[in-house]
Amino acid sequence: MEDLKRLERSLLSRARRAKTTQDVADLRAEFLGKKGPLGQALRGLGELPPEERPKLGERVNALKAKLEAALDEAKTRVEQAERTLQLAQGAQDVTLPSRRVVPGLPHPLRLVERSIIDAMAGLGFTVAEGPLVEHDWYNFEALNFPPDHPARDAQDTFFIDDKVLLRTHTSNVQIRTMLKTKPPVRILAPGMVFRHDEIDATHTPCFHQVEGLWVDEKVTFADLKGVLHRLAASLFGPETRVRFRPSFFPFTEPSAEMDVSCVICGGTGGEGKCRVCKGTGWLEILGAGMVDPAVLEAVGYDPDRVQGFAFGMGVERIAMLRWGIEDIRLVYENDVRFLEQFSARVRT
Ligand SMILES: [Zn+2]
C-alpha cells in the first residue's frame, strides 16, 4: 500500500512538470506499460493470500484509472502549450505582399468557338453535342457517303473496327439531333474531330470544327447566304465581304465554299503580294450547302416538306486567319507566353 501511494505521488508530480507530449508519452510508458510498477503489482497479486487479493486488486485498478486521468490532463495541457508556441513562432507578417494569383485564360480556340456560338445564338441556334467515337452510319452513311464511295477518301479516317471510327466531322451530331427532333432544327455542333493527317504547319490529326444546321419548311439558299455573311462579319469585322464558289460535299446539294475578303489586305491582295491570301484578296473559311434530300430521308424527314442548309468550319483555321498565326502547332504547345496574347483579360 505504501508503495502505491509513493507511486501515485511520484507520477502526479512528474505529470505536472511534463513540458512536451513526448514527456507525457514517456511517463505513460514508464508507469502504465506492461513492465511498469502497476503491471508488476497486478502480477504480484497471485502471491498474496487469497483474502487480500480483491482489496489490493481494487486499489491497483483505482490507482491506474487515476494515473490515466492525470496523464490525459497533462497531455491536453502540453498540447495547448505547444500549439500556442507554434503559433507564436510561425506568426504571419500580414504586411508582406501576397503571392500573385495567376488567373486562367481562355484558350484561343475556345475564344473562336465562343465567338461563333455567340454570333449564331442571336439567330436562334443552340449548341448540340455528340460522341467522338462514332458508328459508321452516323458519320458517313446517313450523310450520303455510301460504302466505298470515293468521297470517303477525302476524310482519311481512324477506324476502330469495320463499323466504328473516330468522327471525321461533327456532322454526326446533325444526324443524331434530327433523329430525335422534329423540324424545325437550328443547331450548332462544335467539337473535336479526327483525320489521319500528317502533322505540319496547317494540319493535325485532331482539330476542332463548328458546324451549323437549319432545317425548316421555308429555308432557302438566300437564308444560307444571309446567315453566313452575318457570321463572317461578326468574326472578321463589319466590312467583311463574302463570296461563294461551287463545290462538292456528299451531304449537300448544291454545295459551296465561302470565302471572306482577306483580313490582312482588306481584300485588295496587296498588289499581289499579301502573304495571307497569296495576293488573291480572298480567304476560304467554310463549306456549306443545302442539305441533300437523301440526308433528310435518312433521318425520317420529308424532303418535299422541309429543306435546310448546313455549314462547317475549322476552328483552328479561323483562329489562324483572325490572329495571323502561321503554324497550327503553336496552339497545341500550351506555351503560356503564346496563349495569353489572345485574351482580352489584362493581368495585374
Ligand atoms: Zn490578303
User: How much is the average pLDDT of 98-126?
Assistant: 90
- Residues 215 and 306 sit within 8 Å (Cβ to Cβ): yes
Q: Alpha-carbon distance 8 to 71, whole Å? A: 12
In this prediction, residue 223 carries a pLDDT of 96
Output the CA 202–ligand 1 centroid distance in Å.
18
Average pLDDT, the chain: 89
Tell me the C-alpha distance between 267 and 319, whole Å: 18
Q: How far is the CA of 323 from the centre of ligand 1 (A)?
A: 13
Per-residue pLDDT at 95: 83
Residue 271 has pLDDT above 60, yes or no: yes
Listed in sequence order, the DSSP H helices in the chain are 2-17, 21-32, 37-44, 53-89, 108-121, 136-139, 171-180, 221-236, 293-298, 315-323, 336-339
d(CA 315, ligand 1 centre) in Å: 20
Question: Residue 170 is placed in which grid cell?
Answer: 461533327
CA of 246 to the centre of ligand 1 (A): 22
Distance, CA 265 to ligand 1 centroid (Å)?
A: 4
CB 327 within 8 A of CB 200: no
The Cα 253–Cα 255 span in angstroms is: 5
Given this model, what pLDDT does residue 347 score?
Answer: 41
CA–CA distance, 30 with 33 (Å, rounded to integer):
6
Q: Could you read off the pLDDT of 144-167 as tens digits, one per residue?
A: 988 877 777 767 889 999 899 999
Expressed in angstroms and rounded, the spacing between residue 313 Cα and the centre of ligand 1 is 20
* C-alpha–C-alpha distance, residues 39 and 45, integer Å: 10
pLDDT tens-digit readout, 76-86: 999 998 888 88
Per-residue pLDDT band for 348 (boundaries 50, 70, 90) equals very low
The closest alpha carbon to 60, from 1, 100, 13, 11, belongs to: 1
Residue whose cell numbers read 505513460: 28
CA atoms of 57 and 43, how far apart (whole Å): 10
- Give the distance (Å) from ligand 1 centre to CA of residue 287: 20
pLDDT at res. 346: 42
Q: How many helices (H) and strands (E) does the chain have?
A: 11, 9
